[in-house]
């Protein structure tokens, strides 16, 4: 038909109609395929426990309509003969659109990972969720900054001076807030490595207490005496931390002494007697009992056993029961506990015709 051969901006009307049909078909097809993929992967995700299919579903849902529209227009434009400037503009628009869509995908992935990890951390360490959200914000900021620079560069804007300025400014800011940045990265290390979590009882040097809060800059610990101890995260990780909540069992060593007048046969029965007493207690494992040394005023025994649970109150209850049983058994066996004593022997020079005397006190 004659009107289809009419020339419009260097292309016949039929070419424009074909390009429009191709663009519409491409747009509709990509939308339908994406919806079907979302439904299929979502059904698969319900039957599996892996995070990968959930992440793919999130990314597909985050795919924006403008990307399909730009791709459809670019597909239709391939049929037409357009000026180089117009083709270049379309190409740049598609590339910028891909960059923006990539940033949206990255933002969705960061949100998905932060929420997934946060749901696992929330019952045990609510403070870690706050830290994760803050780190997620930093990651999004870095992502969008990179996308912005790439988009500007693709549009022909010289970003060298901008990057140089940002680099110099970044160095200056980093030097000014290096302590804050150090604590921020230390907070990230605490979240990922988990040397302790909320509720753990830790000892740092000569300070000890229960972890109450893990923030971006500080960690707060409630001391046994009631006051709150505030540690810088970087200083905390630079210290040696003892985490008593991670203790699976408690090793106990204690000693006691008996008097020197105790006969050898009774001394020989003491280790077996101690073993019976320890093994009679619940949640204990006997290790050893030995006649350790001849001290200044006592014959000392050393006992080692394990309490099979880490709770301090349980350990004290067990030790109390052992001490009471040990006192009763020693009394029944006629074995006396020693206490610090000192015997002084006085030798007096004998006078002629008299006998020497020895006294004790």
| CATH at residue 267 | 3.30.70.100
Reported as a pLDDT band with limits 50, 70 and 90, residue 359 is very low
Give yes or no: residues 143 and 15 share one domain: yes
Q: Average pLDDT for residues 7-29, to the nearest whole number?
A: 80
Give yes or no: residues 103 and 238 share one domain: no
Say if 355 falls within a structural domain: no
Say if 209 falls within a structural domain: yes
Say if 342 falls within a structural domain: no
**Cα angle, residue 262 at apex, residues 256 and 266 outer, rounded to 5°:** 85
> Per-residue pLDDT for 173 more than 60?
no
Write down the mean pLDDT value for the chain: 82
Give yes or no: residues 137 and 104 share one domain: yes
**Nearest CA to 305 among 249, 242, 244, 246?**
249
pLDDT of residue 171: 59
Give yes or no: residues 209 and 108 share one domain: no
Q: In this structure, are residues 210 and 201 in contact, taking their beta carbons and an 8 Å threshold?
A: yes
Give yes or no: residues 187 and 299 share one domain: no
CA distances from 316 to 22, 123, 209, 278, 299 (A): 82, 30, 19, 13, 25
Say if 317 falls within a structural domain: yes
**Nearest CA to 280 among 324, 238, 227?**
324
Domain final residue pick, 178, 200, 220 = 178
For residues 69 and 320, the model is more confident at: 320
For 148, the domain range is 2-178
What is the spatial distance between Cα 333 and Cα 271, in angstroms, rounded to a whole number?
13
Give yes or no: residues 193 and 284 share one domain: no
Burial label, 324 (beta-carbon count in 10 A; 0-12, 13-18, 19+): exposed
Q: Average pLDDT for residues 79-88, to the nearest whole number?
A: 80
Domain final residue pick, 178, 204, 235 = 178
C-alpha of 21 from chain center: 55
**Cα angle, residue 239 at apex, residues 204 and 123 outer, rounded to 5°:** 65
Give yes or no: residues 82 and 141 share one domain: yes
pLDDT of residue 345: 72
Give yes or no: residues 101 and 12 share one domain: yes
Give yes or no: residues 263 and 296 share one domain: yes
Reported as a pLDDT band with limits 50, 70 and 90, residue 361 is very low
Say if 308 falls within a structural domain: yes
- Residues of the chain with pLDDT > 70, as a percent, come to 84
**The CATH number of the domain where 189 resides is what?**
2.30.30.60
Domain final residue pick, 225, 244, 263 = 244
Q: Average pLDDT for residues 73-91, to the nearest whole number?
A: 81
> Per-residue pLDDT for 355 more than 60?
no
Give yes or no: residues 41 and 152 share one domain: yes
Say if 343 falls within a structural domain: no
Say if 74 falls within a structural domain: yes
Reported as a pLDDT band with limits 50, 70 and 90, residue 85 is confident
**Nearest CA to 96 among 71, 72, 76?**
71
Say if 341 falls within a structural domain: no
pTM over 0.85: no
Give yes or no: residues 221 and 75 share one domain: no
Give yes or no: residues 23 and 100 share one domain: yes
> Per-residue pLDDT for 192 more than 80?
no
Q: How many structural domains are present in the chain?
A: 3
Q: Average pLDDT for residues 252-261, to the nearest whole number?
A: 94
pLDDT of residue 329: 95
């Amino acid at each position: 038909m004659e009107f289809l051969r009419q020339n419009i901006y260097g292309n016949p009307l039929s070419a424009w109609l074909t390009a429009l049909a191709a663009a519409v078909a491409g747009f509709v097809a990509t939308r339908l395929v994406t919806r079907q993929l979302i439904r299929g992967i979502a059904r698969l995700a319900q039957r599996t426990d892996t995070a990968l299919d959930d992440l793919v579903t999130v990314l597909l849902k985050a795919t924006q309509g403008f990307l399909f529209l730009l791709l459809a227009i670019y597909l239709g434009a391939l049929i037409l003969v357009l000026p180089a400037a117009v083709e270049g503009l379309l190409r740049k628009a598609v590339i910028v659109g891909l960059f923006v869509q990539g940033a949206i995908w990255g933002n969705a992935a960061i949100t998905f990972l932060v929420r997934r990890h946060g749901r696992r951390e929330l019952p045990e360490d609510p403070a870690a969720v706050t830290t994760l959200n803050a780190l997620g914000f930093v990651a999004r900021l870095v992502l969008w900054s990179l996308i912005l620079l790439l988009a500007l560069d693709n549009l022909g804007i010289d970003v060298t001076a901008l990057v140089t300025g940002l680099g110099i400014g970044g160095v200056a800011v980093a030097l000014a807030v290096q302590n804050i940045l150090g604590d921020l990265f230390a907070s990230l290390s605490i979240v990922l490595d988990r040397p302790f979590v909320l509720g753990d009882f830790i000892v740092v040097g000569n300070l000890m207490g229960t972890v109450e809060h893990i923030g971006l800059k500080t960690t707060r610990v409630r001391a046994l005496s009631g006051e709150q101890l505030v540690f810088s995260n970087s200083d905390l990780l630079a210290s040696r931390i003892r985490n008593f909540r991670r203790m699976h069992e408690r090793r106990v060593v204690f000693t006691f002494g008996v008097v020197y007048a105790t006969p050898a046969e009774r001394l020989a029965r003491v280790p077996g007697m101690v073993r019976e007493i320890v093994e009679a207690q619940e949640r204990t494992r006997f290790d050893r009992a030995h006649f350790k040394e001849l001290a200044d005023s006592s014959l000392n025994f050393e006992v080692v056993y394990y309490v099979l649970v880490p709770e301090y109150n349980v350990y004290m209850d067990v030790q109390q029961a052992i001490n009471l049983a040990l006192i009763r058994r020693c009394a029944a066996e006629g074995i006396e506990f020693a206490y610090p004593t000192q015997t002084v022997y006085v030798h007096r020079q004998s006078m002629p015709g008299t006998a020497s005397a020895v006294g004790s006190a």
